[in-house]
A and B are shown apart, each in its own frame.
Chain A
Amino acid sequence: MIKIENLSKFYGDFEAVKSINFELNDGEVVGFLGANGAGKSTTLKIITGYLTPSSGTVLIQNKNIQTDSHEIQKQIGYLPELNPLYGEMRVYDLLYFTAQIRNISGNNFKDALSRVIEQCGLQGIIHKTIMECSKGYKQRIGLACAMIHDPKILILDEPVTGLDPNQIVEIRNLIKNLGKEKLVLMSSHILQEIQATVNRIIIIHEGEIVADGTNEELMSSFIGNTKLTLEIKHIKDPSFKDLLAKIPSISIINTIPNNDSIILNLEYPKDEDPRDALFQFAVESNWIILEMSPHSANLESIFRKLTTKESNNA
């Protein structure tokens, strides 16, 4: 369990993290989402004990990171951004070194080694020098190091940056599997990635948390109206007065003439669905509907809404 209270971090005069609060429970896979420089990495670095907070507390399994850092670090596996590794070391040596620091030796090390080789798919490269490995393998080596002690909490800073689509799917499945029994906190600025992997999203913007919830919760709370695009032929009255009179819940955003048809963009409150009525109206007015497509809200629009609105105000 991770509990963060009023956490702030200053770099000189610049406040990178502004008094944030959240609580993460075991078995959650949480995505930490934000633009570059929003304070994601800083927060993760404080949770792992690399940086000291300027104020506020970080409690992990009810222990304070500042007073019990080693106890906490024993339970955390951390993959930093850009995944720094000793290029000249062999994969085995790096895992052995990490295990030693984690106080895993003898048969325990053998077990841990075969576990991470299996989980991270390191078969075949274990005796290679790290710099000979591809980027995807390096990422998995970093993950293997973070997991060698089978931690309860995994903190992954941009784990899929720079990977090809196949590798992304592999890492994503690995993280999902790990999330069944561990608390995984991963940051990313790739929205699709977060959406596909995690079951809770925290959006941070300019050091403040602007949203926190499941994918569905975010969708419903941040997108007020559903948008609908219609392409219609045989329209006699392009002002649509009759339509608006008949179905008052809709409002027209714009109309675009397109050859002999008209493209009509309209919106309606998210808890109503006037499509049935629209169809009936079209039949009665002898319209021919060529297209009717609702624009479901996506994380991208929420993200843009949250992270541009705030900066406009500032």
Chain B
Amino acid sequence: MHNIKAIYFKEMKAYFNSPMAYIFLVVFAIITGYFFTRTFFLFNQSDMRSLFNIIPLVYLFFIPAITMGLIAREKNIGTMEVISTLPLNDFDFVIGKFLSAFSLVISGLLITLVHFFTLTYVGTNIDIGAVFTGYLGLALVGAVYSAVGIFASSITDNQVVAFIIGIFIVLIFFLLDKMLIFIPISLTELIQYLSIDYHLSNISRGVIDTRNLIYFISVAGFFLFMTIRILEIRRWK
């Protein structure tokens, strides 16, 4: 446990000692703020749907960007060799890194709470439950994308390659349910179940279903597990 903590704080320091965290948070806040306020007063509705719709799109590019260096950079500058010879489990290493990226994503989400306060100030009949589950869904998507990003970062020592692979994989998950019309009917249910949007929209509607929770947790878990495996394989080369 103390190893996860050590890795976590090292990565958080690295994020906040470099422009990375600030650029992510500021640009994230500007983009989400723009899309929220653009239609908020126009539609005159007391909900945050426009915000919740745009954030998964912003995630598509932002999360691979903040995760791309997590492991690829360690390999590139050679510190992976130092890390691998410390008494440190691959599990602790990957989880610590994952939690730091996830924390940064959550920080971004926390900034958008400003819009929630705007809503409570000017709105009426606010569905607090839907807002809560909307945020919960976004946090879960953030966790899945962070796990994918770390996986992409572990299979290369080039950050740009990690970024592109990361975007590619999250894009597949993002687009799956938009492709349903091209897919044989027998497979649609499976493909739909694999798509992020299907589960996110369920949660965002205010329904917390364990099936959706299990989906997010298992996809994130799968990619973290694969990352740990990739690190193990490296040793045998």
- A residues neighboring B (CB under 8 Å): 11, 45, 48-52, 69-71, 73-74, 76, 78, 80, 82, 84-89, 93, 97-98, 100-103, 105, 145
Chain B residues, Cβ within 8 Å of A100: 2-3, 5-6
Residues of B within 8 A of A71 (CB): 87
Q: Is B235 an interface residue (CB 8 A)?
A: yes
Distance, CA A51 to CA B234, complexed state (A): 8
Nearest Cβ on chain A to B189's Cβ, whole angstroms: 43
Whether A73 pairs with B78 at a CB distance below 8 angstroms is no
A84 near B78 with CB under 8 A, answer yes
Q: Residue on B with the closest CB to A12?
A: B237
Which residues of the partner chain B approach A84 to less than 8 Å between Cβ atoms? 77-79, 81-82
CB of B73, distance to nearest CB on chain A (Å)? 9
CB contacts (< 8 Å) of B81 on chain A: these are 45, 50, 80, 84
Instruction: State which of B11-19, B31-39, B141-149, B178-186 sits at the interface with chain A.
Output: B11-19
User: Smallest Cβ distance from B80 to chain A, in angstroms?
Assistant: 8
Question: Contacts A52-B236, A82-B78, A101-B3: A88 and B14 contacting too (C-beta < 8 A)?
Answer: yes
Supposing A51-B235, A84-B81 touch, asked if A97 and B10 sit within 8 A by C-beta, the answer is: yes
> Which chain A residues lie closer than 8 Å to B84 at the CB level?
49-50
Alpha-carbon gap, A74 to B3, bound state (A): 14
Q: B235: which A residues are within 8 A, CB to CB? A: 50-52
Give CA–CA (A51, B232) in the complex, Å: 10
Q: CA A248 – CA B5 in complex, angstroms?
A: 77
> Which of B18, B78, B85 touches A76 (beta carbons < 8 Å)?
B85
Partner of A80, one of B7, B13, B82, B87: B82
Tell me the bound Cα distance from A76 to B81 in angstroms.
14
Question: What CA separation (Å) do A88 and B15 show in the bound complex?
Answer: 10
User: When the two chains form their complex, are residues B86 and A98 in contact, meaning their CB atoms are under 8 A apart?
Assistant: yes
Establish whether residues B14 and A101, one from each chain, have CB atoms under 8 Å apart when the complex forms: no
Flag if B85 contacts A49 (CB, 8 Å): yes
A49, closest chain B residue (CB) = B85
Q: Is the CB of B6 within 8 A of A73?
A: no
Within the complex, what minimum Cβ distance (angstroms) separates A286 from chain B? 68
A78 x B18 contact (CB < 8 A): no
Q: For the complex, what is the distance from the CA of A76 to the CA of B235, rounded to whole Å?
A: 18
Judged by a CB distance under 8 angstroms, whether B114 is at the interface is no
Scan B199-237; emit 1 where CB is below 8 A from any A CB, else 0: 000000000000000000000000000000000000111
Chain B residues near A89: list those with CB within 8 A. 10, 13-14, 17
Q: Which residue of A lies closest to B14 (CB)?
A: A88
Query: Residues of A contacting B17 with CB < 8 Å?
Result: 88-89
Known pairs A85-B79, A100-B5; A78 contacts B10 (CB<8 A): no
Q: Which of B164-199 contact A (CB under 8 A)?
A: none
- Do A74 and B85 have beta carbons less than 8 Å apart? no
Contact residues in A for B86 (Cβ distance below 8 Å):
73, 98, 101-102
